[in-house]
Amino acid sequence: MRRLPSLLALLLLSLRGLASPYTPQSDEEMLEQLPRRLAAVPRQGLALPQALGLAQVALQRARQEGDPRELGRAQALLAPWWHLPAPPPAVRLLRASLLQTQHRFDAALQDLDALLASASTPLALRAQAELTRAALLQLRGRWPEARSACTRLAGLSYAALGAAVQMHGRVCLAELDSLQGRNESAAAALAQLARYPQAPSAWILLLRAELAERRGLAEAEALYRQALQAEPSIYTRAALADWLLARRRWAEAAALVLAHQSNQAELMRLPDALLLRLAIAWRAGGNDARASEAAAQLQERFEAAALRGDGSAHARERARYALDVRPDAGAALQQAIANWALQREPADAWLLWRAAQLPAAPKPLAAQARQAFEQFRRESGMQDARWSAAS
Amino acid sequence: MKRALMLSLLLLCAGAAQAHKASDAYLILEADATGLSERVDIALRDLDRELQLDADENGQLSWGELRARAGEIDQLARQGLGMTLTDADGGRCAPQALAPLQIETRSDGRYAVLQRRWQCRAPAQDLTLSYRLFAASDPTHRGVLSLRGPAGAAQTLVLAPDGHASPLRLGAAHSLLSVLRDGAHHIWIGLDHILFLLALLLPAVLVREGNHWRPATRLRPVLLDVLGVVSAFTLAHSITLALAAFEILSPPSRWVESLIAASVLVAAMNNLWPRLLHGRWKLTFAFGLVHGFGFASALRELGLQREALAGPLLMFNLGVELGQLAVVAGFMGLVWGLRRRPGYPRWVLGGGSLLIALLALVWLLERVFDLQLLGR
């Protein structure tokens, strides 16, 4: 009886391939590809402006490389101010952004609200707080509040900061329109805004691509490609990969994902969002051996994240995984519903809808998902070719 | 200004990109009869950030570059992971030299594997960990600890690099059977529980008529009476044992222990000056609730984990019941045989109850006023 648990544990260990550390054969063997090194932080810490500058670089890198270690580094740089109830406005703004990326939405919103409520927040930081807050509210599906924020940005409150801020406000309003089913007018507005030199062009390209995809227009692909060129982000790469996957262009999708990194043999450098698309492309394209390798790595990452208590941050990926990589109707529904409680973007609605359609789905969960989806569709007015035609 | 504004725009669509594995180190500790094996896996990327291992700065870390710095890596790990280990006899266990450095491939990159043994004279028992690896360079870093005691019971803990000392108990890994024995043992050594039961059982073989006791003639009503009392006690203490074990209720132990002493006193006094003859089970139930909290503190001393409490709790309670049943059966056999002796009411019931009452009074004073009147 005593041996059983240890046998089980051993089995688990060997399944995860962890029972075998090894000694490399030669000193020349390459073990790890390292990110470009940031300046070392002196023991006594940095002054606020330097710390802020480095933290912003780290945050930007987190977005481009998909490595959350950069977020931890940004937090470490801001350590002297991080736990203050009311840190300097620039720190507070960055803290809100970091909290948001860690999916601590309420805490992020609290910081942003405080920044906007305080008269001592400089106007430029206030504008950024407004914009970050609008994005967060939009992500959470709180559109009326997001709309008021965007309206303020597009109006006269921030006119002193120049046309760029108003432009951001107008793009943000057009995006909200596009989410609420006003597809044609939103597309026209975005196309018009794209012509202004001060306009945030990469963002507009991405929004136009996503809207074109929801409208079922083939021009989405060219727009995605332009957006990726303008700003090579993981989000855009994953979105373009999804477009290709939806058109059964498996090999192209896999190549696009792998182009993210120089060493194409190793999967462990790929961020989750891209590894997920790769697993789908390989599986559907019949490359079973590599597909199961990618799937096993994803599974291991999900488990590691759950172990450290970050499980919910992966709900979107886990839902997709259970839909397209290792089909499991129950898990797909569970994760899609859990994700829906956190995030309400078109991609999340699409996942919810797909999970609810699964024939093998547990009935009460499927009904719950369908009801949530129908309510959202009714209230939002969102139109999406991926599901409009079918339902 | 525009650049700064662009920065927060970057965040607009950052949601999906951020779900990726953050920095974790893995601690695998396995205790055995003569010590403990320690394995720490640290991501090479984390090590490079701290130690700048990539000597030629080509963005690639080679085995040669890593191997040359094994000493510093070990030093960093030891500073980040404070660990003291004592064995079952209270002796300090000594860390042995670091085993040759190795590599592990995990889903998010390669890790350095540091392994060493801790040598003890007896089975390893108490472990104190204080974790602060990468506290200064990445506060979101976590240590994922998998800890296995000598009997194979594993637990997983997530450590934040906050430097707090976490005391962990490895020894006496509890098989369910051992918990059962602990429960029975607790009844046997818990004189207050036994005396409470005895005080309740002493008059069970007698019947009160006016101011006199006479021996019971039929066994059946006696057994029913005993059954009622014992069931009430069992039910009551099971309720509070569970409540306390799951930390739903945890009254201060000094009050619990004092009330237990009071319960013994009251039960014994009720034999000397009978107030409650029929329905003694009600009294038993009320005081049984208190005794349950007493059992819970004994269960707590076993240091069980809350997540895996249900099985041990059941077994512990079962052990308590078995121990109690043995006491009741033996004692009832004895007093049933003695009940017709002319001296029973006066000397056994009266004298016994008086002795119990005196002892209980001493306990009560000791526990209420935190004194030590009797030697241990």
Instruction: Work out the minimum CA distance from A93 to partner chain B, whole angstroms.
Output: 9
Q: What tokens does B343 get?
A: 């001296």
Residue B2 in contact with partner chain A when CB distance is under 8 A: yes
Nearest to A31 among B19, B41, B66 (CB): B66
Cβ separation of B139 and A3 shorter than 8 Å?
no
Cβ separation of B17 and A234 shorter than 8 Å?
yes
Computed over every residue of chain A, the mean pLDDT equals 88
Size of interface A-B (CB pairs under 8 A): 250
Q: How far apart are CA A272 and CA A234, in angstroms?
A: 10
Q: What tokens does B355 get?
A: 């002795």
Q: What is the pLDDT of residues A270-323, one digit of tens each?
A: 888 999 999 999 999 999 999 999 999 899 888 888 888 776 778 999 999 999
Residue pair A210/A384 in contact (Cβ under 8 Å)? The answer is: no
Residue pair A236/B17 in contact (Cβ under 8 Å)? The answer is: no
Q: What is the pLDDT of residues A151-183, one digit of tens each?
A: 999 999 999 998 889 999 999 999 999 999 999
Please give the pLDDT value at position B302. 65
SS3 content of chain B, % helix, strand, coil (to 5): 50, 20, 25
Please give the pLDDT value at position A219. 96
Average pLDDT over residues A210-216: 95
Q: What tokens does B155 get?
A: 């637990």
Q: How far apart are CA A316 and CA A319, in angstroms?
A: 5
Distances (CA, A) of A12 to A18, A309, B231: 9, 20, 44
Please give the pLDDT value at position A378. 92
Please give the pLDDT value at position B178. 67
Nearest to B18 among A26, A62, A297 (CB): A62
Identify the CA nearest to A97 among candidates A71, A126, A66, A64.
Answer: A71
Flag the least confident range among A118-132, A241-255, B188-202, B346-360. B188-202
Average pLDDT over residues A254-272: 83
Residue B311 in contact with partner chain A when CB distance is under 8 A: no
Instruction: Work out the minimum CA distance from B49 to partner chain A, whole angstroms.
Output: 7
Please give the pLDDT value at position A251. 96
Handedness of CA B73, B79, B81, B84 (dihedral sign): positive
Q: Which of B3, B60, B107, B156 to mutate to test the interface with A (most CBs of A within 10 A)?
A: B107
Q: How far apart are CA A130 and CA A124, in angstroms?
A: 10
Instruction: Work out the minimum CA distance from B136 to partner chain A, whole angstroms.
Output: 6
Please give the pLDDT value at position B56. 84
Q: What is the pLDDT of residues B32-44, one digit of tens each?
A: 878 899 999 999 9
Cβ separation of A31 and B5 shorter than 8 Å?
no
pLDDT at A106 over 50: yes
Three-state secondary structure call for residue A133? helix
> What is the separation, in whole angstroms, between the first and last Cα of chain A?
54
Q: What is the pLDDT of residues B314-346, one digit of tens each?
A: 888 888 888 888 888 888 888 888 888 888 888
Paired strand residues for B81: B131
Identify the CA nearest to B293 among candidates B229, B362, B247, B228.
Answer: B247
Q: What tokens does B272 get?
A: 């000397």
Please give the pLDDT value at position A40. 67
Residues of B in contact with A37 (CB under 8 A): 48-49, 52, 54, 57
Nearest CA in chain A to B114: A21
Q: What tokens does B7 get?
A: 């920065």
Please give the pLDDT value at position A264. 63
Residues of B in contact with A30 (CB under 8 A): 60-62
Most confident of A387-391, B48-52, B305-309, B317-321: B48-52
Cβ separation of A234 and B110 shorter than 8 Å?
no
Please give the pLDDT value at position A311. 66
Neighbours of B32 (CB within 10 A): 16
Please give the pLDDT value at position B304. 63
pLDDT at A42 over 90: no
User: Does the predicted TM-score (pTM) go above 0.95?
Assistant: no
DSSP sequence for B274-338: -S--TTHHHHHHHHHHHHHHHHHHHHHHT---STT-HHHHHHHHHHHHHHHHHHHHHHHHHHHHH
Average pLDDT over residues A324-340: 94
Residues 72..101 of B with a Cβ closer than 8 Å to A: which? 100-101
Residues of A in contact with B57 (CB under 8 A): 37
Chain Cα centroid distance, residue A180: 21
Q: How far apart are CA A258 and CA B290, in angstroms?
A: 67
Flag the least confident range among A126-130, B14-18, B138-142. B14-18
Average pLDDT over residues A141-149: 95
Please give the pLDDT value at position B152. 60
Please give the pLDDT value at position B209. 80
Flag the least confident range among A232-236, A251-255, B242-246, B259-263. B242-246
Identify the CA nearest to A260 among candidates A18, A29, A64.
Answer: A64
Q: Which one is predicted more confidently, B300 or B133?
A: B133
ipTM over 0.85: no
pLDDT at B252 over 70: yes
Percent residues over pLDDT 70 in chain B: 88
Instruction: Work out the minimum CA distance from B147 to partner chain A, whole angstroms.
Output: 12
> What is the separation, in whole angstroms, between the first and last Cα of chain B?
78
Residue B66 in contact with partner chain A when CB distance is under 8 A: yes
Instruction: Work out the minimum CA distance from A94 to partner chain B, whole angstroms.
Output: 9
Q: Which residue has the tokens 């012509």?
A: A195
Please give the pLDDT value at position B303. 61
Please give the pLDDT value at position A244. 97
pLDDT at A4 over 50: no
Identify the CA nearest to B270 among candidates B224, B202, B331.
Answer: B202
Please give the pLDDT value at position B66. 94
Which is it for strands B142-148 and B24-32: parallel, antiparallel or unpaired? Answer: parallel
Flag the least confident range among A256-260, B171-175, B308-312, B348-352. B171-175
Q: Which one is predicted more confidently, B250 or B102?
A: B102
Nearest to B8 among A97, A102, A304 (CB): A97
Cβ separation of B104 and A22 shorter than 8 Å?
yes
pLDDT at B288 over 70: yes
Q: Which one is predicted more confidently, B42 or B294?
A: B42
